[in-house]
Chains A and B, each alone.
Chain A
């Protein structure tokens, strides 16, 4: 025991070095977790007394149609914004990785560029592209003989616009991550397959895809977590109070309840439900992708 204390005393400088992180961690993570757990069963406006309401916040949430609508919107935005984008990213990464492609460095940088733009800027740019009367996309639609679409007046339209914002910003980012994975696959594997007469599509489905599985899992998990935290797009589009149809997300709902109405206890309860949803989806992703490894 004395030896251990002596060890600890000798390492005092090291504890000092790492202490800022743990201090902040205590104040801004550990305490908030427990505090939010406590808050979720209280009714509190931030000024007056807290009232214990048990699971009242949760039972109210599950009867609130706005909450369910936000959940449905979130799922729709998550799928629309990520599934097509991740598939494109995979194909782009596979193409860039092919030996006959030149200027790989240029393509990497060009595809990555959208990712460094702020979400606020992306919303402003895309809102004008999707403008109903004068937007460029409607102009192109009419040019090819289709009717123009009033994008932000229907759930389908506004979700498509938001999905385009997400897809544009993250496709290149995910392609870069896939490319990193592809570059670790030995070239010999492809060469051997080509000698055996495999087509490009076959090498994609039989070699690249299976060997990339861990990295695909990583991107799907990250996009699930990101997809259920969508906030900036609908908030910048239309403010916190009157979102366009089909875009009221769970984080927006939580933000409104907490920071606009000062329903702190209720907002804490919403955040716990969000946490459980993200946790469950991560477990499902994990199981789904590890199925065949058992």
Chain B
């Protein structure tokens, strides 16, 4: 390897590292602010190192907001939503991948077509429906509309196509019902596809803002994102507390992402190339 190549390699890595620093810096800034007093943040020049006020700030968050309540609310909605979606999306996706029945092609095309409808267009009528059902202010309004999603079904179907027919045939001969073939044979094979779906669904539901803002009116039912927005608009003077709340709402997702990042990114890349 020549000297030129070596320099080029170092320069490339340096450029990429600068990009990484820009990607990570806002997280660092968030962490720094949540460990300092508000006055330190408003100092000039701003303080860029960690302080000792993290626990004080955490206490402020807990005293001034329904943080724990909102955390549990979000956890509940997210877990129920994700579980239901995994079940219905995988069952439907598997059915479309491995069975032919009258209308199956047309129904599948219809499903793909629904992915083109922009969600915002449906907000007003969806809200009116939810209101008619008497679901405003209840978690049913958050969970029900997304029990089965076109993207999730499509994702599972693509993966389920690779399940061998002989395997299902053998299960059928052993007396497995169609549901049994799904539950006993397909589900274990689909596990990697479902893992990716679980994580994207979990994160998407955890971070959802617009729809909860529309259908939840009682602050004791607020999800984390709504609680965070409320904390921000009511307590602008106590900036370090707002930042601590933001950190507390963000860290669980970061930890989860880092735990599964490899599979997660592999999933994104696979999906991108297919579409």
Q: B24 to nearest A CB, angstroms?
A: 7
Known A109-B265, A114-B23; judge A22-B91 contact (CB<8 A).
no
Query: Which chain B residue shows the least CB distance to A238?
Result: B233
Contact A20 B88, beta carbon cutoff 8 Å: yes
Contact A92 B120, beta carbon cutoff 8 Å: no
Contact A218 B275, beta carbon cutoff 8 Å: yes
| Partner-contacting stretch, out of A51-59, A69-77, A150-158, A228-236 | A228-236
Segment 89-133 of B: residues with Cβ below 8 Å from A:
91-92, 94-96, 99, 101-102, 104, 107, 111, 114, 117-129, 131
Nearest 7 CB-CB pairings of A with B:
A32-B125, A180-B269, A11-B101, A21-B148, A118-B207, A177-B272, A35-B125
Known A17-B92, A172-B23; judge A121-B124 contact (CB<8 A).
no
Grouping DSSP codes into helix (H, G, I), strand (E, B) and loop, the A interface class, with mixed when no group exceeds half, is: helix
Interface residues of A (CB under 8 A from B): 4, 7-8, 11, 13-15, 17-18, 20-22, 24-25, 27-29, 31-33, 35-36, 39, 46, 88, 92, 95-96, 98, 100-102, 105, 107-114, 116-122, 124-126, 128-129, 133-136, 139, 168, 171-173, 176-177, 179-181, 183-184, 215, 218, 225, 229, 231-232, 235-236, 239, 251, 254-255, 258-259, 264, 267-268, 271-272, 274-275, 278
Binary CB contact string for chain B from 113 to 157 against chain A (1 if under 8 A, 0 otherwise): 010011111111111110100000000000011111110010000
Segment 7-47 of B: residues with Cβ below 8 Å from A:
8-9, 12-13, 15-16, 19-20, 22-24, 26-27, 29-30, 33, 41-46
Q: A84 to nearest B CB, angstroms?
A: 13
Contact B23 A18, beta carbon cutoff 8 Å: no
Which residues of A are found within 8 Å of B214, using beta-carbon distances?
255, 259
For the complex with contacts A17-B182, A88-B19, A120-B209, 16 further pairs of A-B residues with Cβ separation under 8 Å are A7-B102, A24-B147, A35-B128, A101-B9, A102-B13, A108-B265, A113-B23, A118-B225, A125-B30, A176-B272, A180-B272, A215-B273, A264-B128, A271-B120, A274-B118, A275-B118
Contact B148 A17, beta carbon cutoff 8 Å: no
Contact B26 A125, beta carbon cutoff 8 Å: yes
Is B72 close to A, CB under 8 A?
Answer: no
**One of B121, B146, B178 near A275 (C-beta < 8 A):** B121
Query: Which chain A residue shows the least CB distance to B273?
Result: A180
Selected A-B contacts with CB under 8 Å, 28 pairs:
A14-B104, A17-B91, A24-B144, A32-B122, A35-B129, A46-B131, A100-B9, A101-B16, A102-B13, A109-B258, A112-B265, A117-B27, A118-B207, A119-B209, A122-B26, A124-B228, A124-B246, A125-B26, A125-B246, A126-B26, A128-B239, A176-B268, A180-B268, A232-B210, A239-B233, A258-B124, A271-B123, A275-B121
Which residues of A are found within 8 Å of B262, using beta-carbon distances?
105, 109
Instruction: Pick from A92, A117, A122, A229 the residue with the most CB of B within 10 Å.
Output: A117
Q: B225 to nearest A CB, angstroms?
A: 5
Give A183 to B265 CA distance when docked, in angstroms: 14
Give chain B's interface residue range (CB within 8 Å of chain A).
Answer: 35 or more
Known A33-B117, A116-B254, A254-B120; judge A180-B95 contact (CB<8 A).
no
Known A7-B101, A118-B253, A264-B128; judge A176-B269 contact (CB<8 A).
yes
Give A142 to B177 CA distance when docked, in angstroms: 72
Give A166 to B142 CA distance when docked, in angstroms: 25
Interface residues of B (CB under 8 A from A): 5, 8-9, 12-13, 15-16, 19-20, 22-24, 26-27, 29-30, 33, 41-46, 88, 91-92, 94-96, 99, 101-102, 104, 107, 111, 114, 117-129, 131, 144-150, 153, 177-179, 182, 203, 206-207, 209-210, 213-214, 225, 228-229, 232-233, 239, 242-243, 246, 249-250, 253-254, 257-258, 261-262, 265, 268-270, 272-273, 275
